[in-house]
């Protein structure tokens, strides 16, 4: 796919998520997708495959975030989406890095405000050792 087509694929994902169209969102991902949400929040982790990704998105959606794409940059199979996220009265900016393979999103790495995610979604509890 061309860089422009890759950007359009990513944009369709943001639009479908905003519309609550999870079926379309999931159709844009490879079956073996890997999504990395850094930090120690309840929603942080590395999610493999569509089932885990769907569970992650369900937890994220509970707080009804709004995501506004500010800019997209593409080079080869990589798309970087610079976004503004508003959730639970807080706003932050992220850089979401997508790798496209065979017309589907294969990996996503979120680079954002991990402290904000902990504040909004809660911090993971460590197991007593």
Residue 28 pLDDT more than 60? yes
Query: Residue 47: how many CB atoms within 10 A of its CB?
Result: 20
Distances (CA, A) of 17 to 65, 74, 92: 10, 21, 18
Cα(37)–Cα(111) distance, rounded to whole angstroms? 8
Contact 24, 12 (CB under 8 A): yes
With bands split at pLDDT 50, 70 and 90, how would you rate the model's confidence at 53?
very high
What is residue 44's predicted lDDT score, i.e. its pLDDT? 96
pTM recorded for the entire structure: 0.92
Does residue 128 have a pLDDT over 90? no
pLDDT digits (tens, 9 = 90+) for 80-122: 999 999 999 999 999 999 999 999 999 999 999 999 999 999 9
Average pLDDT over residues 65-87: 97
CATH of domain 3-117: 3.10.450.50
Whether 126 has a pLDDT exceeding 80, the answer reads no
Does residue 77 carry a pLDDT above 60?
yes
CA dist 110 and 114 (Å) reads 10
Percentage of residues in the chain having pLDDT higher than 90: 92
User: Which residues 6+ apart lie within 8 Å of 99 measured at CB?
Assistant: 77, 78, 105, 106, 107, 108
Question: pLDDT band for position 129 (50/70/90)?
Answer: low
pLDDT value at 37 more than 90? yes
As a whole number, the mean pLDDT across the chain is 94
Structure tokens belonging to residue 53:
């990704």
pLDDT of 125: 80
């Amino acid at each position: 796919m061309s860089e422009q087509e890759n950007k359009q694929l990513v944009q369709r994902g943001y639009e479908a998520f905003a519309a609550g169209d999870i079926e379309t969102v999931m159709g844009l991902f490879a079956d073996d997708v890997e999504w990395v949400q850094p930090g120690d929040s309840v929603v942080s982790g590395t999610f493999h495959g569509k089932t885990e990704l769907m569970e992650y998105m369900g937890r994220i959606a509970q707080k009804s975030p709004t995501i506004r794409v500010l800019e997209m940059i593409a080079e080869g199979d990589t798309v970087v989406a610079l976004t503004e996220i508003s959730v639970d009265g807080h706003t932050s900016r992220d850089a979401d890095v997508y790798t496209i393979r065979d017309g589907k999103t294969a990996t996503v790495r979120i680079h954002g405000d991990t402290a904000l995610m902990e504040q909004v979604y809660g911090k993971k509890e460590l197991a007593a050792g």
